[in-house]
Homo-oligomer: A and B are copies of this chain.
Amino acid sequence: MADLEAFRQEAREWLEANCPDEMRQPMQSEADAVWGGKKFKFSEPQKLWLDRMAEKGWTVPEWPTEYGGGGLSKEEAKILREEMRRINARVPLQSFGIWMLGPALLKYGTHEQKLEHLPPIARGEIRWAQGYSEPNAGSDLASLMTKCEDKGDHYIVNGQKIWTSYADKADWIFVLVRTDFEASKHNGISFILVDMDQPGVTTKPIKLISGASPFCETFFDDARAEKHNLVGELNRGWDVAKYLLTHEREMIGGMGSGGMRPMGDVAVQQVGLNEASQLADPFLRADVARAEIDGMAFMFTMERVADEAKAGQGTGANSSVLKYYGTEFNKRRLELMMDSSGSEGLEWGGEEDVARGWLRSKGNSIEGGTSEVQLNIIAKRILQLPSA
């Protein structure tokens, strides 16, 4: 305990001394997020803050120091987060490398793979994309057909991925490929890392109904991949993919809560109160109150699932409950925000732009495993209902 207090003191002093003032202001929009990578345009304070944090290993506090991490314990990492929040320090680096590839490499990668790929992630030098879905393999991810052939000292990849987040801004991509077309669906898949800086890899942004293009189509046309960049065993890539999907599910499910303005407050601001000090639209009031109660129950469910996991109780399949309920709830929340905003919320490019968030939310229950897939998982893994 004394050690932890000492760590807190040290962290506090270091942050106070090293976090630039500009990095202590709340982010104004998604555009203020630092994603890193070769193509990223840093502001000076962003770069300074990232470099200083990466130097300490604190962009990935719990990773081992030899791979660019801070080597902190869970408790220390928690203290670091608390101290960062204390001064409103921004997260120095967001990345799929940190959230997704990193954990997978730490679990399934070789020492050499970790040494090669983890430090550049921690320093924000390489930005990663995820190559999972294909046009004919959406919910049924395992039916993917992107082909990876063994050419002796290297692999050649051919095929098309879709829904690759920010692929047009990424440097490398981790890809699920089929390495055995004879094996049963789940058994011929491998997990491989591909450098996107080659002619064989091209990307095309997909414009969404929200007007933004956070996703791309990614084409592999005789793209080369090195043999040492195969993660896990050949044809056993599905294990890695499943491990990652669970991570992703929790990440997306969690969007249904936290950090958002309470619906009731937004509604009051938009619609106003009547003489009885109640929301002037009584039907909206009923919908908002019921939704806020559900949102509260969902938030505590996230907390409980985490606490149960810590205590070694509970079931891993609960991540499907969080993904399902969290994304459906987020859609409902944004429908209510639209109800609150009336015609103002229907303007395109308005200041608050609730409409774009509303439209974007519709994808939550599709990406990372649709709601239908989550319900299948709950029915089968938790309720143990039989398959047809």
Contact = CB atoms under 8 A, between A and B. Distances in A.
Contact of A286 (B275, B286, B388): B286
A388 B387 CA distance: 13
Contacts of A278: 282
Nearest to A274: B276
A283 interface: yes
A285 interface: yes
A278 B276 CA distance: 12
Contact of A282 (B285, B290, B388): B285
Interface in A31-45: none
Taking the full assembly, how many copies of this chain does it contain? 2
A234 B388 CA distance: 34
Contacts of A286: 282-283, 286-287
Interface string A271-303: 000011010001101110110000000000000
Nearest to A388: B388
Interface of A is mostly: helix
Instruction: Give the most central of A275, A283, A287, A289: most B CB within 10 Å.
Output: A283
Nearest to A283: B286
A175 B315 CA distance: 50
A287 B285 CA distance: 12
Contacts of A276: 275-276
A280 B282 CA distance: 12
Contacts of A282: 278, 282, 285-286
A340 to B, nearest CB: 15
A290 to B, nearest CB: 8
A355 B124 CA distance: 65
A275 B274 CA distance: 13
Contacts of A285: 282
Contacts of A275: 276
Contacts of A283: 286, 289-290
Interface string A121-142: 0000000000000000000000
Given A282-B282, A286-B286, 10 more contacts: A275-B276, A276-B276, A278-B282, A282-B285, A282-B286, A283-B286, A283-B289, A283-B290, A286-B287, A388-B388
Interface of A: 275-276, 278, 282-283, 285-287, 289-290, 388
12 contacts: A275-B276, A276-B276, A278-B282, A282-B282, A282-B285, A282-B286, A283-B286, A283-B289, A283-B290, A286-B286, A286-B287, A388-B388
